[in-house]
Amino acid sequence: MYRPSSLERRLLDEFQGGFPLEERPFRVIAERLGTTEAEVIEALRGLQEHGVVSRVGPVFRPNRVGASTLAAMRVPPERLAEVAERVSARPEVNHNYERDHEFNLWFVVTAADRQGVRAVLDEIAAATGLEVMDLPMVEDYFINLGFPLRWT
């Protein structure tokens, strides 16, 4: 079982939010943690390699920079892995997940504008031969997903 180092734990605990908006943010983080920029970058690489962190980057309020939508598909169970892999390969898709529902594959698409989002959904439908349901946001709510981690 993977056990994060003390530096990795601090990165996970202290930088879920408030990421420095600086030219060299990892140097600023390193100064706050009393280490080097290279060690911070290497620790983040290790967290990604072990699947603890999927990405490091900004989260923008939906549809403030570009456009996005939630999408869902009805995928035959025997094709789920293949279709999910095809959907995930799109650079406009930032995550997808399986749900125990008639619509069993859900994902978020982002693009420069609404027409770009529509084009991606149409391309996924054409590539898979399956309909893609477009669920654009009607009203947004902010939920802070950061939480303190407990290390044993």
Instruction: Examine residue 59 and state whether it is found in any structural domain, yes or no.
Output: no
> Do 113 and 80 lie in a common domain?
yes
Task: Note whether residue 146 is domain-resident.
Answer: no
Provide the residue type at 57 as one letter.
G
Cα(91)–Cα(100) distance, integer angstroms:
25
What local confidence, expressed as pLDDT, does residue 51 receive? 85
Domain harbouring 107, CATH code: 3.30.70.3460
| Number of domains comprising the chain | 2
The three-point CA angle 20-24-29 to 5° equals 50
Q: What local confidence, expressed as pLDDT, does residue 83 receive?
A: 97
Question: Looking at the structure, do residues 79 and 130 belong to the same domain, yes or no?
Answer: yes
Q: Is residue 126 domain-resident?
A: yes
**Shared domain check, 75 and 119:** yes
Q: 125: domain range?
A: 67-135
Q: What is the pLDDT of residues 72-123, one digit of tens each?
A: 999 999 999 999 999 999 999 978 899 999 999 999 999 999 999 999 999 9
Clarify whether residues 41 and 71 are in a common domain.
no
Write phi, then psi, for 25 (nearest 5 degrees).
-60, -35
Q: Which residues contact 19 (CB under 8 A, 6 or more apart)?
A: 25, 58
Distance CA 65, CA 124 (A): 23
User: Considering the domain boundaries, does residue 114 fall inside one?
Assistant: yes
pLDDT of residue 152: 72
Mapped onto helix, strand or coil, the DSSP state of residue 57 is coil
Q: Are residues 79 and 119 in the same domain?
A: yes
CA distance linking residue 126 with residue 120, whole number of Å: 10
Do 73 and 127 have their domain in common? Answer: yes
The pLDDT assigned to 26 comes to 96
Question: Looking at the structure, do residues 88 and 131 belong to the same domain, yes or no?
Answer: yes
66-105 burial by CB neighbour count: b if 16+ within 10 A, else e?
ebbbebbbebeeeeeeebbeebeeeebbbebeeeeeeebb
71, 126: one domain: yes
The CA-CA-CA angle for residues 129, 133, 138, to 5°, reads 160
Same domain, 74 and 127: yes
Q: Check residue 117 and give its pLDDT.
A: 96
